[in-house]
Structure 1
């Protein structure tokens, strides 16, 4: 899941990617140059060194020796604040980037070691000494904690890693004392092992005042215990991704969410599952973006409710709704949920088929019959088995603000249909079948 910070920094991230390629291409020539092994600061170096780069201040150019050649690369003439910012952006794309740039030359190493935000990403793994060094170099900067099923080697290769409960518990002990500095927590497990969640979240019981993003992914989890995290206090938490874990949903912890990617844990099904999700949405009623998935093939561990859910939930600020399906048909829980969901400000609707089926869902017509599509929709994305020409024709004719429909089918490029509105409400000039996209039938 790309974050809100990364979307708002797309131009800067493009510059960082280009800079990263340039660093790798110049890495060898920097080490072979006879000049770059010499100090790059003048006699006033002592007055400049103690000043850490941790807050904005007046820009100053790099000071070169008088005997330094005029053909020096332009990178060496950039202000250290600009170099520091580029380093931070590059580290968001590559976790080994801070180590790479700190070994180019003495001046870059000085900049890297005095940029706390460059070392804030803590990916837990076997290199305990490196983890402690990163925490130390980050100083008072907020931290991004990650437990991943894979790790990056020094050569840039991706290696899988198997987690055990005792190893997770040991590594979490290294970062748990800094919970008050956590900016994000990202935990993902791909292997099946008992007590993984208990080991990873056992000591997450103190407030997290700086936490902004939380991602908990473990599809193979069989622990039905609802977890209470961070003493129910994380006032800055805005983004949450959950898959396979049962949480105790409290307004003091999740009431300020603006982004929720929710995959149902599967411990309940039918009406019980719909009731659980409606209870969650009633608490997280400030959402701008909502992703929903009810995984297929999960065996319910808890007894189901017989009475249907009747509670209606209104998400007044919801702008984007993403409905996902990973089976051969639309699950009953998803169809029942959308029939009880109101979103009067919805502008974007994305219908995702994770199985990339070549045929339309059997219950597609029934789904659109029970789902009250908001008339505020401006953009619709339809993928694979969600596609049906007649349904899109009906949308185009009944939604007055709809301006674009995107269709993605198997083995064909994505098609974008732009609706051209005619004068005085004569309807849209739009024809799906005329563009050569047909739906299959089972």
Structure 2
């Protein structure tokens, strides 16, 4: 017995001198001499722990617990060792067992164990969080997703943008297998000059011959030849037909199954710059059309013939030639389509489009008493020198949200007064006037006084916009004109000056942004009389040559988005 105690004492001395290999040899020798004291195993466990031999240290700690189960040392060391190898549950269990065996008066040991337990719990929480993050990035969730749910997700993505079907098929092999086997993702075919035959064949196969939308973006021979792939394809489910620069005669020859019955049941029809052919008007010869969206560019529409056939439109977009003698036909057409929500009508002169007018119905002279009530209309865009205010003064739009007027011949004073008196200005949120003239700028000011909900105001290329800016900058009876205005664009207006512009921005700033005592006093007075207006969020001053560069830093400091481009690179190149 004396021999193992002597070896144990020498081993402890070596441990204290940090001679861990010698300490391990002497303590092992003491154990080989049949030492059965738990202190010897605990000491050798401490040496193993210093040397980084966790497994051997745990085995010795196990012997300590076996020899002296009533002592706390073996459990405490086991807790530390389990914690070092990230076995947090075992470490917490050992910590609890050690805490139960410490005497109540030994507060130092209890504090140490409580600190150890807190460190274990904190580290365990962080480790669990990192594991979950790695699992989210590495785990293949799609493999466990039911096919029906994957179908629903892909359908929602493609519904927003039909070109995404190609992107989805390129993510991985599993996605591609699912996408290829979903015919409803391949129902929108768009043909251009890029591999039209290959694309038409692929879409026909994957959609299983059930196309819902056909878009032809080019009328060249290569694209039209690709339509032969669809020669025997049933088009009974077709809802959208979009044609750009297409010869209608050639189209009907390539697609013999594109009958009048199918055109009659279309939901959306787009005709953009078709090639000169009389046959285009046969598209409108169906007894009734179920169209909800009609978009036409570069071709004259027989408004009189179309009036009796099309009554369900919600969106009308027309960019083409127009003559005032057809105004009554257009008015009648709009009166029949009472569900219209969006109307975009740009009447210009197109030499190609005039070729069709000899084949349309005889025009009826307009009647000045016609009125067109459009209670559902929310967006109206009228432009072109061959339309003017004749049509606008016939429209009654009590729920209009957006009004866009561009390139009118003559002044717009009368149309603005009509919109104001017909209650079209009150709900308006966006007003865009592009290259139109005003005889009396106060007519626009009176209009804006009625349009208290306007948030976006564009006055582009107006010669007397300065009077309007002056009215926007000066409160009347402690009321601000257009208090909800947040986006202002006065590009290419020659009479925009620094003073009104600065006052316009300043009068809409919050009180905490004002610095001078006079500005604060005026702002508080207006705040007591009426609510503060909304601050400007964007200000565009392109082409305003009268604006000086000195005010731009202040404007950019108080308006989040300011753009002031005096001239383009091409316009300014002569100075170089």
Asked if the contact 2:298/2:350 (under 8 Å) is kept, the reply is no
Q: Is 1:118 matched up with 2:168?
A: no
Q: Which residue of 2 aligns with 1:282?
A: 335
Aligned length: 329
How far apart are the structure 2 equivalents of 1:185 and 1:105? 32
Task: Indicate which of 185, 200, 203 corresponds to 2:251.
Answer: 200
Asked if the contact 2:211/2:237 (under 8 Å) is kept, the reply is yes
How far apart are the structure 2 equivalents of 1:288 and 1:69? 45
2:243 aligns to what SS in structure 1? strand
Specify every segment of 5 or more residues in structure 1 that has no aligned partner in the other structure, as ranges.
1-67, 150-161, 190-194
Distance 1:215 1:318, change over 3 A: same
Q: Which residue of 2 aligns with 1:381?
A: 431
How far apart are the structure 2 equivalents of 1:318 and 1:427? 35
Q: Compute the displacement of 1:218 (Å).
A: 1.0
Measured against aligned partners, the alpha-carbon deviations of 1:50-73 in whole angstroms (never above 9, x if no partner) come to: xxxxxxxxxxxxxxxxxx999324
Q: Compute the displacement of 1:352 (Å).
A: 4.4
What TM-score, normalized by structure 1, do the two folds share? 0.60
How far apart are the structure 1 equivalents of 2:276 and 2:226? 20
Q: Is 1:324 matched up with 2:387?
A: no
Task: Indicate which of 259, 270, 278 corresponds to 1:215.
Answer: 270
Task: Indicate which of 87, 99, 116 corresponds to 2:154.
Answer: 87
Distance 1:296 1:278, change over 3 A: same
Larger Rg: 2
Q: Which residue of 2 aligns with 1:393?
A: 445
How far apart are the structure 1 equivalents of 2:436 and 2:424? 20
2:344 aligns to what SS in structure 1? strand
Asked if the contact 2:380/2:400 (under 8 Å) is kept, the reply is no
Asked if the contact 1:217/1:244 (under 8 Å) is kept, the reply is yes
Task: Indicate which of 392, 395, 399 corresponds to 1:338.
Answer: 392
Distance 1:225 1:139, change over 3 A: closer
Q: Which residue of 2 aligns with 1:181?
A: 237
Q: Is 1:241 matched up with 2:292?
A: no
Structure (1 or 2) with the greater strand fraction: 1
How far apart are the structure 2 equivalents of 1:131 and 1:276? 40
Asked if the contact 1:148/1:188 (under 8 Å) is kept, the reply is yes
1:101 aligns to what SS in structure 2? helix
Task: Indicate which of 212, 215, 219 corresponds to 1:146.
Answer: 215
1:181 aligns to what SS in structure 2? coil
Larger relative CO (CA 8 A, sep 6+): 1 or 2?
1
Q: Compute the displacement of 1:77 (Å).
A: 4.3
Specify every segment of 5 or more residues in structure 2 that has no aligned partner in the other structure, as ranges.
1-134, 462-468, 486-499, 506-538, 546-576
Distance 1:280 1:197, change over 3 A: farther
Task: Indicate which of 234, 255, 258 corresponds to 2:311.
Answer: 255
Measured against aligned partners, the alpha-carbon deviations of 1:115-140 in whole angstroms (never above 9, x if no partner) come to: 22211111124432431331232237
1:231 aligns to what SS in structure 2? coil
Q: Which residue of 2 aligns with 1:16?
A: none
Question: Equivalences for 1:288-327 in 2 at 5 Å?
Answer: 288-296=341-349, 298=351, 300-301=354-355, 302=357, 307-310=365-368, 312-325=370-383
How far apart are the structure 2 equivalents of 1:352 and 1:172? 44
Distance 1:79 1:199, change over 3 A: same
Asked if the contact 2:331/2:372 (under 8 Å) is kept, the reply is no
How far apart are the structure 2 equivalents of 1:172 and 1:409? 50
Distance 1:252 1:333, change over 3 A: closer
Q: Compute the displacement of 1:370 (Å).
A: 6.0
Measured against aligned partners, the alpha-carbon deviations of 1:359-401 in whole angstroms (never above 9, x if no partner) come to: x97523354356675314412322442587634421133x3x7
Q: Compute the displacement of 1:146 (Å).
A: 0.3
What TM-score, normalized by structure 2, do the two folds share? 0.48
How far apart are the structure 1 equivalents of 2:414 and 2:212? 47
2:261 aligns to what SS in structure 1? coil
Distance 1:74 1:136, change over 3 A: same
> RMSD value over aligned CA atoms?
4.4
Q: Compute the displacement of 1:404 (Å).
A: 1.5
Q: Which residue of 1 aligns with 2:139?
A: 72
Asked if the contact 1:220/1:244 (under 8 Å) is kept, the reply is no
Asked if the contact 2:215/2:242 (under 8 Å) is kept, the reply is yes
How far apart are the structure 2 equivalents of 1:246 and 1:100? 38
